[in-house]
Each structure stands twice: as C-alpha cells, then as structure tokens.
Structure 1
Amino acid sequence: MILETRAKLIKAARESFATQGFAQSSMDVLTAQAGLTRGALYHHFGDKKGLLEAVIAQIDAEMTARLTAIVDEAKTTWDGFIDESIAYIKMALEPEIQRIVFLDGPAVLGDPSRWPSQNSCIMSTQRSIEKLIAEKTVRPVDAPATARLIMGALLGASLWIASAEDPHEASQKAIDGFLALASGLRLAAV
C-alpha cells in the first residue's frame, strides 16, 4: 500500500512537472490525479520539493540503467566510456529530462553536483578511468580527480544545453568539445 501510494504520487508529479514545470504544478491537482490527498503527499514526501527529489531519483535511476546498457554493449572500454558520455549529453535534449532534471531540479534543489546521484556517476566514471588506465588506453592520471572533471564537464554541458536557445546546436558543440577533451586522455589509437 505504501509503495503503491508513493508510486501514484510520483507518476502524477512526473507528468505534471514534465508538462507544466515544477512552479506551475499544483499539489491539489496532482494529488487528485493520483486519487490521493495532500496529506498523503506530506506523509510520504514532506512537501512538493520532496516529491521533486523523488521524481528526479526515479528519472536518474532510469538514466543510469540506459547508460549502463550502453557501456555493456560497447566493444571496448574506451568505446563504452565515449558512448556513455555522449548519451548523457544527448539526454539533455529529451523534454522530460531537460525540464525536470536540468532546469527545474537545479532551480529548486540547488547545485546538481551535490545531489546524491552525482556521487554514483562520479564513482562509475572513476571505475571506467581506472579500467582504461589498467588497459593502458589512457594516460596514468589521478582517476578520482579526472572522474570529477569529466562529470563536471558533462553536467555543465547538460545544464547549458537545457537552457540554450538552440539546444540541438549546443548539444553538438558539447559533444565535439567533449570528444576533443577525451582524446587528450588517450595514449594512442588502439
């Protein structure tokens, strides 16, 4: 029952936040859409901001699953690293992710680099860098620092894309820039 109630509220909020934005989403409307009361929202999430955190956590988990599949399907560790990074940049073009994660999320929840999900992204990138170093594909760099730099660049690019006048043009520029930066890590073409 608890999980079902939470799921209903998250689903209604996700739809509302994606179409109307956080600020324009009414708690009364979204709880009515879920067939629940404001009391249920307060009980499970504390407030509208808590509900946004839960929606972002759900979207982030879906993004992570998609990115993990990309890495798993790659022919090499390098290809997985590049493909995953480019896919992350391109996700900023998806309307729901763009609106909720890269526009409303930072406006309401603050600096995304401090969100718990960023720690898992940094750790995943660090593991990739460590594996690439062990394979002698990239220079022997400090993996934790390099992972933070890469994730900072990807997050910064995604925030820029989400608010750009022409997000598609910004995305392509970000991808080109990332590829140039990443190539500097490589020891030699393999």
Structure 2
Amino acid sequence: MSRSRAEMIEATRAKLLATARRAFQHTGYAATSMDELTASAGLTRGALYHHFGDKKGLLAAVVEQIDDEVDERLNAVSAQAAAPWEAFRERCRAYLRMATEPEIRRIVLQDARAVLGPATDAAQQQCIASLAALLQGLMEARIIDDADPQALARLVNGSLTDSAFWIADAPDDAPRLDQALHALDLLLRGLPRR
C-alpha cells in the first residue's frame, strides 16, 4: 500500500525534527552541521529548507515540539495532584526540575534563548496565560487571595523562567536545583489564604 503525499511530507518533517533534536542536544545548535544532519536523516538540505526555511526555523520547530511536550507533562503533574494548591505547587516544582534534563537544558534554555531571542515570546505568553488561568481558579476556590491573575502569573512565570535559566547555566554538579526548589517553596508559601 503506498503512502499518500501528506503522509510522506509528515514523515519527512518528523524525521528531520527527530534528527535535529538529537543533534542539537548532543552537539549543540552552533556545532550542528546541516549537511551532517540531513545526511544522518537520509534526506537532502532541500527537504530541510522546504519544511523549515533554514537551520533557525528548524530550531524553532524543535523548541515548539519540546514546549508542547513540557505542557503535556505539566498538565499530567497537575492532574495527579490531590488538591488544587498541591497541583499548582508541584507543577512549578516540576518545571524547575525539567531545567536539569539535557534536552530541555541545551535546546530550550540555552540555544533557543541565544539564537531565537524574541521569537520565544509567544511560548512565554502561552505559559503566562496558562498560569493566569490556574491562579484564577485558585482565587475562585478561595485558596489564594484575590489579585490580578495576569500580574501574579507574570511574577510567578518570571521567577520560574529566570530560575530555570540559572539552573541550566550551572555546571552539572551544581546544587542550584535544590536551592531554587527551596526558594520556590518560600515564595509560594505566601500565596495561600491564612
């Protein structure tokens, strides 16, 4: 049975993304050769340019894919929690733990930040909107005091994002994750109603 053109296009795109993820994680964006990457995928540079425009477009697509997976993982953390406050707290803690994962650390927190810069703003806005919705739910449930959910989401997101960058920039044996998790607990302790 022959595959349709749409299936072949999707297969080529998926192969390029998977190959790029491995290369960007292990070699880094700057050191990844497009000729070696496309040869490793068994494809041509033309396929890469057709699907992603250039190397930077490929990085953006890889980051988007990883961001979607991170969202799914964070939603799973929230869904497993016994109570809304625990869901929020564990979601924040899980985000910081992800900063130590080699793929997220190298591709999302180091290379994407340096290469894509403002192009990552859309992902940040999505994170802020998600946090704002969670915080709004906690306010409506009278778990935390009322505040502007966007303002509070920006403060929490900014703290988490900056801490994730700080963790990712540390040598592998640095205790930054434990330090950030402790500081996060102190910060979040002020949110629940007394």
Provide TM-score, normalisation by structure 1.
0.94
Give unpaired runs (5+ residues) of structure 2: 1-7
- Partner in structure 2 of residue 143 of structure 1: 149
Paired letter, 2:130: S
Between the aligned partners of 1:79 and 1:108, the Cα distance in structure 2 is: 35
Between the aligned partners of 1:109 and 1:87, the Cα distance in structure 2 is: 24
Between the aligned partners of 1:120 and 1:156, the Cα distance in structure 2 is: 16
Between the aligned partners of 1:176 and 1:134, the Cα distance in structure 2 is: 27
- Partner in structure 2 of residue 154 of structure 1: 160
8 Å CA contact retained: 1:93, 1:168:
no
- Partner in structure 1 of residue 137 of structure 2: 131
8 Å CA contact retained: 1:41, 1:47:
yes
Distance 1:166 1:35, change over 3 A: closer
Between the aligned partners of 1:167 and 1:49, the Cα distance in structure 2 is: 30
Offset from partner CA, 1:33-58 (integer Å, 9 cap, x none): 11110011111111000000000111
- Offset, 1:166: 5.2
- Partner in structure 1 of residue 5 of structure 2: none
Paired letter, 1:39: G
Between the aligned partners of 1:16 and 1:90, the Cα distance in structure 2 is: 23
Matched, 1:175 2:157: no
Offset from partner CA, 1:124-161 (integer Å, 9 cap, x none): 11111111111111111111110011111101000000
Between the aligned partners of 1:93 and 1:78, the Cα distance in structure 2 is: 24
| CA root-mean-square deviation | 1.3
| Higher deviation after alignment, 102-111 or 89-98 | 102-111
Give unpaired runs (5+ residues) of structure 1: none
Between the aligned partners of 2:22 and 2:122, the Cα distance in structure 1 is: 23
- Partner in structure 2 of residue 165 of structure 1: 171
Percent identity over the alignment? 46
Matched, 1:9 2:16: yes
8 Å CA contact retained: 1:161, 1:167:
no
- Offset, 1:173: 1.1
Paired letter, 1:91: M
- Partner in structure 2 of residue 64 of structure 1: 71
- Partner in structure 2 of residue 187 of structure 1: 193
Displacement over 4 Å in runs of 4+: none
Paired letter, 1:123: A
8 Å CA contact retained: 1:70, 1:84:
yes
